[in-house]
Amino acid sequence: MKAAVIDYNMGNLGSVVKALTYLGAAPRVVGKPAELELFDRIILPGVGNFGDGMEQLRTLGFDRAFVKAREEGKFCFGICLGMQMMLEFSEEAPGVPGLGIFPGTCRKFDATPAKVPQIGWNTVRFNPDCPLGKGLGDEPWFYFVHSYYVPLAPFTAGVASYTTEFSAAIGEKNCFAVQFHPEKSSDSGLALLRNFLSLQESGR
- Taking the C-alpha atoms of residue 28 and residue 44, their distance in angstroms, rounded to an integer, is 12
Residue tagged active-site, from 35, 37, 80, 130:
80
Exposure of 43 by Cβ count < 10 A (0-12 exposed, 13-18 middle, 19+ buried)? buried
Q: Verify whether residue 106 is a known catalytic residue.
A: no
Do 3 and 24 contact (CB within 8 A), yes or no? Answer: no
Helix and strand counts by DSSP (H, E) for the chain: 5, 13
Beta strand ranges found along 114-181 (DSSP E): 118-123, 125-126, 141-146, 148-149, 156-161, 165-172, 175-178
- Write out the DSSP string of 68-124: HHHHTT-EEEEETHHHHTTSSEETTSTT-----SS-SEEEEPP-SSS-SSEEEEEE-
Active site residue 181: yes
Three-class DSSP category at 35: helix
User: Is residue 146 annotated as part of the catalytic site, yes or no?
Assistant: no
2 and 39 Cβ atoms separated by less than 8 Å: yes
**Beta pairing class for 27-30 and 3-6:** parallel
Instruction: Give me the active site residues, please.
Output: 80, 181, 183
